[in-house]
Amino acid sequence: MATAPSRHHDRRISPVFLGIVAVMAVSGWAVWTSYAASRGLAVFLFVTSAWVVSLCLHEYAHARTALHGGDITIGAKGYLTLNPLKYTHAALSIVLPVIFVIMGGIGLPGGAVFIERSRIRGRWRHSLISAAGPLTNVAFAIVCTAPFWLGALDGVPYDFRVALAFLALLQVSAAILNFLPVPGLDGYGIIEPWLSHAARRQVEPFAPFGLLAVFGLLWIPEINSEFFRLIYAILDALGVSDLEAAAGRSLYQFWPDLTLAPQG
């Protein structure tokens, strides 16, 4: 009987996460109503807070799937509370991805929750735990683009529309990057259980550098251009034009140029 309250506490939604959701709601309302004094600042707060919410849900999906897969230590680590401060590397999981959004408008994946893989039985379970995170980004992208591919944009204010388009861009880019079969990223975690023991041992030393390698490659203009061409093609298939996504990005990065973007 003494363990029940502890388990309930381990799964109680964190006030930190609720605070982030509150910022998202208030700033989203400000973008929708044009109540804020600065359009760019309102879009910045809305997209950034929504992006952090998606990061929390991404890590929660990993943790929840691991819990059902057999790692019963997940709850005690605080991963089920959606509190980003409980992650193994909070700076890598939250701060770094936000910095990349601010700098380059790229939804770069962050660090991960620590899962005791030895408690998980079955290769399919290991793969599903790794896939759960980026699939959350896919779901988030579908939700963000739903008004576009459903043709339900009548009455949606311009700023809110382009903010959603840019947020969808971040989710699509995060999903693509996370699914890359690069050591240290979720894509590699999906295929790793199916590799031979020798192959895994050879790749293991490179895992800490996988994210840095992806970051370095994205700084190469030709690769960056092809990467965004793929993102815009996916967004176009979801009903979001590249002009809308670019307008949202421009409005989000309001600090270089404080002149207002033309509405349309």
**Token pair for residue 83?**
């509190």
Query: What are the structure tokens assigned to 60, written together?
Result: 């929660």
In this structure, what token pair is assigned to residue 82? 């959606």
Write down the pLDDT at residue 233.
97
* pLDDT the model gives residue 138: 96
The whole-number pLDDT of residue 113 equals 81
State residue 264's pLDDT score.
39
Per-10-residue mean pLDDT of the chain, 264 residues long, equals 50 93 97 88 95 92 94 90 81 76 78 84 94 96 96 93 96 95 93 93 86 86 93 96 94 66 40
Cα gap 213→216, rounded to integer Å = 5
For residue 122, what pLDDT is reported? 92
Reported pTM: 0.89
* DSSP single-letter state for residue 194: G
Query: How far from 162 is each of 13, 43, 139, 152, 159, CA to CA, in Å?
Result: 30, 9, 19, 14, 5
* C-alpha 182 chain-centroid distance: 17
Our answer to whether residue 192 is catalytic in this structure is: no
pLDDT of residue 207: 82
State how far Cα 69 lies from the chain centre. 22
Q: In this structure, are residues 55 and 97 in contact, taking their beta carbons and an 8 Å threshold?
A: yes
